[in-house]
Structure 1
Amino acid sequence: MHGPSPDNPHPMEGFPQVCFIRNTVRNPLIQVGEYSYYDDPEDSEGFERNVLYHFPFIGDRLVIGRFCAIARGAKFIMNGANHKLAGLSTYPFQIFGNGWETVMPGPGELPYKGDTVIGHDVWIGYEALIMPGVRIGNGAIVSARSVVTADVAPYTIVGGNPARPIKARFDPEQVQALQALAWWDWPIERITACLPLIVGGDIAALQRAAAAAR
């Protein structure tokens, strides 16, 4: 057995509220790894509607790694939401045209935070909000209804508004070992064979299994 097919949008038979995201996203500026899923009983195939202010002329990307779990209502604010801050007013007059386009912001006048990047094996809780340019490290957990305005270190649990670190899931040496193992990049056959170790808590045992497979 090699687990569910990553090409099946609904891998749980009779349970359509879970969807492997990469099968339903059409925007080329959204990249999603295999087995990452969105859980929504109303419209699990509509993940893309939760990526907001994502205008193609800006060009920023949302990148999500493999094996991520994203709960219902989690949203990603992209750079198109930003307004010019240097003037007396932040109102976007230019978007309405009819003569107002003469105050179109010039290059560099709108805040730009870059791509939003979600690592591998990340759990994003119910109605969490991820702001532009945030990078969330591998193995991190974002608590429900958190507002993430800054980068999240690997294997860190964050929560609140703005989100702050609550605790580290592992000590620094263990995090370093897990990052080096990068089990999410293994062939799916090896992942399947090592599942008891991956969902267990013995990093040394997983390291031994990885070494034996080389």
Structure 2
Amino acid sequence: MLAFAGFALAFGALLVALHFRDKGFFSSKDMFAGKDIRAWTGRAAPDVIPAPPEPPPLVTQDSESGLPVSPFSPFAMGASARFIRPVRFDPPYDPIDAKTFRASDVTIALTGIEAPERTAICVDFEKTRWICGIQARVALYYIIRAETLSCLRGREEPEAGQSLRGTCTIKGRDVATELVRTGYARAAGLPSREMAEAEAEARAALRGLWRGNWTIVSLQ
């Protein structure tokens, strides 16, 4: 009888423990007394744990320009993110004006510089008019004509007819800075130290438009 009574008590204690566990009790071992301590959490354990939401699909291409983008680009992370992998272009190139050119079906506009329009006419210190816009376009062509370009999208949104506005480099050299060095472009905004030095060099040597102090006339 005593053995049966002990078994019944143990079985009853087990049922009570299972009941309290399902109702939201938790237990931990008392490190010193070796006792099983239980406390009420106020919440019942859920029957089903929901699966985590699926991540958004990875954007690998700009829907407007068709350019490949990095997972860290503004298209993949939102408008505030500006990290993007450079895009590589190979010749031939088709210069549109001194700071805009086409590579295949992509139109690229260099930022950070000011340059004459393709139809611009300039006047030098001797009051002689010359086709500075066309010569500036030729200057860009001679810089990029046989080189592989690495271009990085900038913060400015492309204008009509443009796919990308940003900076391009050739073997680590900034294309816009090299164009400023010829005198057919000048810095716009706050230039880098290299661009400021290139502009000072071109101005001192009276290169490009500096031979007329950047005097552009309007043909009306």
* Length-normalised TM-score, structure 1: 0.23
* Length-normalised TM-score, structure 2: 0.22
Larger Rg: 2
More strand by share: 2
